[in-house]
Amino acid sequence: MRKISLEELNEKIKQRREQVDYAVNRFRIKSKDEGWTCKRSRPRNTDEIKALNYIARKTFRNELRDGKVLYDKERRVLSIVEYRRSQTPTS
């Protein structure tokens, strides 16, 4: 088996990057024109579902703890601080 160094691998990637990006973009355009979508072709595995749910819950709890997401108990609404409108009254 041939061994390749990380530097050689990076050099090969740099050489082919433009060609690969072009081919991928052409494929995506062609796929959209022909009615293809990027839908999943198989259902998620139960372990995959558990892992994704765990990651989502952990991320959400961290955002709540850090104050990036607020919960309004009165209205029962979650709001993202970054996208929240100012609460100044309008006349």
pLDDT at position 65 is 94
- Please give the average pLDDT of every successive group of 10 residues along the chain, which has 91 residues: 84 90 84 69 90 94 92 89 69 45
Q: What's the whole-model pTM score? A: 0.48
Domain shared by 45 and 34, yes or no: no
Cite the DSSP H helix spans in the chain: 6-33, 46-66
Q: How far apart are the first and last CA of the chain?
A: 75
Domain shared by 25 and 52, yes or no: no
Domain shared by 26 and 49, yes or no: no
Domain shared by 28 and 72, yes or no: no
Domain shared by 65 and 86, yes or no: yes
pLDDT at position 29 is 82
Distance CA 67, CA 71 (A): 10
20-46 pLDDT, tens digit each: 888 888 888 877 777 666 666 788 899
Residue ranges making up the domain that contains 69: 40-91
75 burial (CB, 10 Å; 0-12 / 13-18 / 19+) is exposed
